[in-house]
Amino acid sequence: MAGIGIDEVRHVARLARLELSDEELHGLVGELTALLEHVDAIRQLDTSGVPATAHAIPLSNVLRDDVVGPCLERDEVLAAAPAAEEGRIVVPAILREEP
Amino acid sequence: MPEGYETVVGLEVHCELATATKLFCGCPNVFGAEPNTNICPVCLGLPGSLPVLNRRAVELAMRIGTALGCEIRPSVFHRKNYFYPDMPKDYQISQYDEPVNVNGRLELPDGSVVGIERAHIEEDTGKTTHVGATGRIHGASHSLVDYNRAGVPLVETVSAPDIRSAEQARAYVIELRGVLVATGASDGRMEEGSLRVDANISVRPTGSDILGTRCEVKNLNSLRSLVRAIEYEARRQVELLEAGGAVTQETRHWDEDAGVTHPLRSKEEAYDYRYFQEPDLVPLVPDAALLEAATAGEALLPSDRRRRIAEVFAAHGAEASAEQVLTVIELDLDQLVLDAVEVGADARLALARAANEAAARPDDARRLDPRAFADLVKMEHDGKLSATQSKTVLGALLEEGGDPADIAARLGYEALDTAELEAAVDRVIAESPDEWTRYVGGDAKVTGYFVGKVMQATKGRADGKVVSSVLAARRDEAAGR
């Protein structure tokens, strides 16, 4: 049966870097369970004769030639970042969760 | 490796493809540009932008698959989701359960075969620099990101856990690099990051066919790092097991200066990446045009080049040193040897001079006129130049080109005829009666003394081997034999 526990919701929230209150977590348990039940209902359909579809549009090999196109102005890009240094974007120290 | 244990290694080799542009956009794919100058809405993942797959990258990936004997299959792209600032989109587009190339193999020069599980297409990530007291990841105050590399096309070749030693891992990477360069997919420059290796390392009791718990070691920037890291990591795991502990599956970082690995982050389980099919890209199907491009214009693979040398040497009844063959192929000097042999140079000697002296200056050696090289080898082989003289002339030839005979004449290396040489030997014998008595009495140690004296007298023009044989002949005469 479909369903999702609060621990799983908390785990997924952490992966998505979402900070959720207990109230929000409980609310999401209900909402996500309803969604999963809906998927479960679809899963009941007999699809044994239906080939797997990779994409909604029956299309393959959409390719472009290896030709250089325009890039953005660096100053424009860096202006949109919270902070920049030496032409690079400043981000918080990586792996600070590590011991 | 401690007795009773076996090392098991599988390698993941990331190869940047030598395309003009990135995998999904027209930004230039170049090394060493000013930070954040080769970026656009697509590789930054800005809203409303859409990726379009680079045809050349697909062709090169299929060439790699062909060269590795893979099955080339219809494939799809997935998003690998993770939070790490090296990807502005917060996901990397990669191939997950349906990669383009599967089930190949790579035969190494020693005849061992390493299975290739897959070779799939994915995009590279940006480059992070850690700022802080040490410049290392741990203890950094903040990090700086350059997205020029984000979206550069990669092929990741994943080997089966068939590798059994650090040396075999090294041979595998050299062979794979040769294949990647031959297909035109890569420039093979490890020092510029064109080729990056991660090693999955485990140990197990010798004779066991169960795989031990593995650690993935990253930051292997050179062949030397690869060998050292595998040796270190295998020893660490054996010591853990011997002490009654267990190996934890994790990602570890190789610290080249300290010569150790340390844990980086606990490996997220596959489902934590929440792979799902990239909705903005359609499937890739190897049609006739792509498959034709995948096999066209391919240079000889390293294995073909080894076979070619073996055949030529066999035809000349010469034995090729396996080590010298690997050296000339790696440095792209095998054609020089074959061309020289073709115009009459002695095969064994041509190979030796190419693998030793010419290999010391590979760039100059690749420009060497094969006929001049052949002439030099012939002069040495015919005894017109001693080995020492030949090496000196080759050095000059590499430096300035020209005719080896002219260079030899300019250096005063004129052929020493037999009479002149014998006269020099006789003079030295006459000047050293005590040493001569000892030599005739069977003291082989004084041979070097005589050879040295003759060399001095002839200003290095004599061939040491010929001097020895003249000495032996004189001794036999003196002994009345």
pLDDT for B32 beyond 70 = yes
What is the mean pLDDT of the segment spanning B403-409?
90
Quick one: which H or E segment has residue B121?
strand B113-123
Considering only A87-96, B179-188, B207-216, B286-295, which range has the smallest mean pLDDT?
Answer: A87-96
What is the mean pLDDT of the segment spanning A16-33?
92
What is the mean pLDDT of the segment spanning B145-154?
97
pLDDT for B443 beyond 50 = yes
- For residues B460 and B71, which has the higher predicted lDDT (pLDDT)? B71
CB B103 within 8 Å of CB B116: yes
Single-letter amino acid code for the residue at B401: G
**Paired strand residues for B131:** B142
Nearest Cα neighbor of B271 from B125, B78, B98, B103 is B78
pLDDT of residue B257: 93
pLDDT for A98 beyond 50 = no
- Domain at B418-478: CATH code: 1.10.10.410
What is the mean pLDDT of the segment spanning B398-404?
91
Of chain B, the percentage scoring pLDDT greater than 70 comes to 95
Q: Which residue of A has its CA nearest to B264?
A: A98
Q: Is residue A99 situated within a structural domain?
A: no
Nearest to B21 among A54, A68, A88 (CB): A68
Parent domain of A26: 1-44
**How far off is chain B from A19, nearest CA to CA, in Å?**
14
- How far, in Å, CA of B231 to CA of B374, rounded? 43
**Paired strand residues for B140:** B132
CB atoms A62 and B285 under 8 Å = no
- How far, in Å, CA of B72 to CA of B295, rounded? 12
Q: Is residue A70 situated within a structural domain?
A: no
Q: Which residues of A touch B264 (CB under 8 A)?
A: 95, 98
Cα separation of the two ends of chain A: 39
- For residues B160 and B250, which has the higher predicted lDDT (pLDDT)? B160
Of chain B, the percentage scoring pLDDT greater than 90 comes to 69
**How far off is chain B from A61, nearest CA to CA, in Å?**
5
What would the pLDDT profile of B102-118 be if each residue is shown by its tens digit?
Answer: 999 999 999 999 999 99
pLDDT of residue B79: 95
pLDDT category, B63, cuts 50, 70, 90?
Answer: very high
pLDDT for B130 beyond 50 = yes
What would the pLDDT profile of B179-235 be if each residue is shown by its tens digit?
Answer: 999 999 998 888 888 899 999 999 999 999 899 999 999 989 899 999 999 999 999
Q: How many separate domains does chain A show?
A: 1
pLDDT of residue B267: 46
- How far, in Å, CA of A19 to CA of B86, rounded? 22
CB atoms A59 and B274 under 8 Å = no
pLDDT of residue B270: 47
Considering only A77-86, B162-171, B467-476, which range has the smallest mean pLDDT?
Answer: B467-476
pLDDT for A4 beyond 90 = no
What would the pLDDT profile of B322-368 be if each residue is shown by its tens digit?
Answer: 999 999 998 999 999 999 999 999 999 999 999 999 999 999 999 99
CB B155 within 8 Å of CB B188: no
pLDDT of residue B466: 81
Burial of B28 (0-12, 13-18, 19+ CB in 10 A): middle
A→B contacts (Cβ < 8 Å), by residue, are 15, 17, 54-55, 57, 59-72, 74, 77-78, 85-95, 98
Which of A10, A19, A68 to mutate against chain B (most B CBs within 10 Å)?
A68
DSSP for A60-75 reads ---EE-S-------HH
Considering only A86-95, B303-312, B333-342, which range has the smallest mean pLDDT?
Answer: A86-95
pLDDT of residue A36: 93
pLDDT of residue B137: 57
pLDDT of residue B468: 86
- How far, in Å, CA of B140 to CA of A96, rounded? 9
Q: Is residue A40 situated within a structural domain?
A: yes
pLDDT of residue A13: 87
CA atoms within 13 A on the CB side of A96: 11
Quick one: which H or E segment has residue B127?
strand B127-132
Q: State the CATH number of the domain containing residue A38.
A: 1.10.20
pLDDT category, A95, cuts 50, 70, 90?
Answer: low
Q: Is residue A32 situated within a structural domain?
A: yes
pLDDT category, A54, cuts 50, 70, 90?
Answer: low
Rg (CA), chain A: 22
pLDDT of residue A34: 94
pLDDT for B298 beyond 80 = no
Quick one: which H or E segment has residue A26?
helix A22-43
Q: Which are the contacts of B332, defined by CB distance < 8 A and separation ≥ 6?
A: B362, B366
Q: Strand B215-220 and strand B250-255: pairing? A: parallel
Distances (CA, A) of B191 to A72, B194, B222, B424, B442: 28, 8, 7, 53, 55
Q: Is residue A74 situated within a structural domain?
A: no
Flag whether residue B85 sits within 8 Å of chain A, measured between CB atoms: yes
pLDDT of residue B297: 66
Mean pLDDT score of chain B, rounded to an integer?
A: 91
Single-letter amino acid code for the residue at B191: E
- How far, in Å, CA of B115 to CA of B8, rounded? 13
- Could you tell me the strand order of the sheet in which A88-92 lies? A84-85, A88-92, B140-146, B127-132
- How far, in Å, CA of A46 to CA of A31, rounded? 26
Considering only A52-61, B75-84, B265-274, B295-304, which range has the smallest mean pLDDT?
Answer: B265-274
What is the mean pLDDT of the segment spanning B268-292?
85
Q: Is residue A98 situated within a structural domain?
A: no
CB A95 within 8 Å of CB B264: yes
Flag whether residue B53 sits within 8 Å of chain A, measured between CB atoms: yes
- For residues A84 and B131, which has the higher predicted lDDT (pLDDT)? A84
pLDDT category, B459, cuts 50, 70, 90?
Answer: confident
Neighbours of B228 (CB within 10 A): 18
pLDDT for B254 beyond 90 = yes
The angle, 0 to 180 degrees and rounded to 10, between the axes of the packed helices B302-315 and B166-182 is 90
Q: Is residue A58 situated within a structural domain?
A: no
- How far, in Å, CA of B84 to CA of B82, rounded? 6
CB B230 within 8 Å of CB B166: yes
